[in-house]
Amino acid sequence: MRVSVFLFVAAGLLAMKLIGENGAGDIFQAPAALEPYEGTSVVLDGDTLRVDGTKIRLMWVDACEMGQPATAGYTKFDCGQWAKDKLIQIINGQRVRCRPQGAGYYQRILATCETASGVDLSSALLSTGTAFLYGANKAPVIYLDAERAARQRAGGVHGFSDLMHPKEFRQLTKGRS
């Protein structure tokens, strides 16, 4: 079955190259029939983890990049490491279950994931201000509301004084989006 998923992802990546962006960045919608990934996770950064040996990019969020500088008050820090640490805290050693939704750039599975206790990782990252909303024109209302609440509180990334949006930071430092 994993070979089938790989072939499906490869076909999706090819289709994205031929068709172009669909208005939601690198999101390619997949049939809901893909098998979920479940198990312990390794957090790779603020919006990417490895589950069951597969690299998974969390849908609807865009967290700071590793090495991306930020300032809160008078304290300068690595916002990407901060986001990674927050995701580790949210998961808190629990098993996670990820439901693939499609494929993104860099050959990553795009998925919605939740902890064994039912915490939706993308919603938690958005509501705590740990990440920005990604794909707002297609995002379910739960994610729109979660980010809106964090913005209103000026929580996390919405309250840092000199933070560049992760997409802008990627373009500036790596020439990619």
Q: Is 101 helix (H, G, I), strand (E, B) or coil?
A: strand
* Contact predicate 61/126, CB 8 Å: yes
CA distances from 154 to 83, 131, 176 (A): 16, 12, 28
Q: What is the pLDDT of residues 33-65, one digit of tens each?
A: 589 999 999 999 999 999 989 999 999 999 999
pTM given for the model: 0.80
Structural domain boundaries in the chain: 2-174
Phi, psi of 46 (to 5 degrees): -70, -15
Q: What is the pLDDT of residues 111-153, one digit of tens each?
A: 999 999 999 999 999 999 999 999 999 999 999 999 999 999 9
* Contact predicate 113/58, CB 8 Å: yes
**2-174 to CATH, choices 3.40.640.10, 3.20.20.450, 2.40.50.90, 1.10.238.10:** 2.40.50.90
- The Cα 76–Cα 84 span in angstroms is 16
Q: Is residue 30 over pLDDT 70? A: no
